[in-house]
Amino acid sequence: GAAQLERLSGARPGVRVRRSFRARAGDLPRTPGPVPVPGTMKQASAAQDTSPASPPASPPAQPPRDDGEPRALWIFGYGSLVWRPDFAYSDSRVGFVRGYSRRFWQGDTFHRGSDKMPGRVVTLLEDHEGCTWGVAYQVRDEQVSEALKYLHVREAELGGYDTKEVTFYPQDTPDQPLKALAYVATPQNPGYLGPAPEEAIATQILACHGFSGHNLEYLLRLADFMQLCGPQAQDEHLAAIVDAVGTMLPCFCPTKQALGLV
C-alpha cells in the first residue's frame, strides 16, 4: 500500500516540483513527450502480445548466453532514459533506488550542451538517506546486447558515465526488489562539474543546447516525470532548480525554441 511504499522509499518532507513558473513564462504549450505513466508498462509495438501478463517482479537469475551476455537484464534510468530510452525492451516499471540522490552535477558537451557551453545533466550521488525515482527497463535475449551496445555509446562514450549495479524497488511491488544496471557519472570523469548553487545551475541550463535539444527541455521533462510519480516522490534539488528557472525566465530572454518548451 501507500504506507509501505512511503516507508520503503524513505520519502522525507520536502519541496515538491512546482509548475507555477509556467504562468510567469506565458504558459506556452510544449509538445508532450513519451513520459511513462507510473506502474508497470510494456513497450508499444505492432507485434507485441496484448496479453496483460507480465514477468515476475523478481525473476530468478538466468544462465548467460553463449556470447557471455545474460538472457535478461534490468536497466535503471533516472535522467533522459525515463522518457527516451531509444532501445528495444520487453517490460518497464516505475520505481526508485535507495541510497542515492539525483544531482545536476555532470557536464554534457554533446546531448544538451557544447564544448564551449557544457549543459548540466544528472548523475547519482551516494547518499545514505537518499531516494531516486526513475524507470527500470527489462531487456531479454538479443535485446540485451543491442541495448548495452547502444547505451555504451550514448552514456559512456558521449556522456562519461560508468556502470553500477543498484537495487530497484518497483512502485507497484516495492517488497519485490530487482537488481538493475545504472549509468553513473563519477567525479573521476573529465566531464564532471560537481556541485554549484541551484541558481547557477539554472542559469547554465537556460543557456545551453546540444544535439538532443535544449537543456531546459531535459529539466522540464524530468520534472514532468516526477509529477507523475505521486506525492511520495521527492527531489528537493530538482525542485529548487525548477523554481530558480521560473524566477529567471521572464528576464533571461531565451530563444523561442527554449521558451516553447515551457
Give me the pLDDT at residue 14, please. 35
pTM assigned to the model: 0.76
pLDDT-derived band at 260, boundaries 50, 70, 90: low
pLDDT tens digits, 110-166: 999 999 999 999 999 999 999 999 999 999 999 999 999 999 999 999 999 999 999
Structure confidence at residue 250 (pLDDT): 79
pLDDT value of position 11: 45
Q: Where are the domains of the chain?
A: 72-248
Residue type, 217: E
Q: What is the dihedral of CA 203, 240, 37, 183, to 10 degrees?
A: 70
Residue 46 has pLDDT above 50, yes or no: no
| The residue type at 102 | R
69, 146, 155, 217: the active-site residue = 155
The single-letter DSSP state of residue 153 is I
165 is catalytic: no
Distances (CA, A) of 173 to 9, 84, 94, 107: 12, 24, 10, 34
Residue 135: strand pairing partners? 77, 94
The pLDDT of 88-104, averaged and rounded, is 98
Question: Could you tell me the CATH superfamily of domain 72-248?
Answer: Gamma-glutamyl cyclotransferase-like (3.10.490.10)
Name the band, by pLDDT with cuts 50, 70 and 90, for residue 249.
confident
Residue range 172-215, pLDDT digits in tens: 999 999 999 999 999 999 999 999 999 999 999 999 999 999 99
Specify the range with the lowest mean pLDDT, choosing from 49-63, 69-83, 104-118. 49-63
**211: Cβ contacts below 8 Å, ≥ 6 apart:** 110, 111
pLDDT of residue 201: 98
Q: What is the DSSP string of 85-124?
A: --S--SEEEEEEEEEEEEEEEEEESSSS--SSS-EEEEEE
**Which among 10, 13, 231 is positioned nearest to 129, based on CA atoms?**
10
How many other C-beta atoms are found inside a 10 Å radius of the C-beta of residue 70? 17
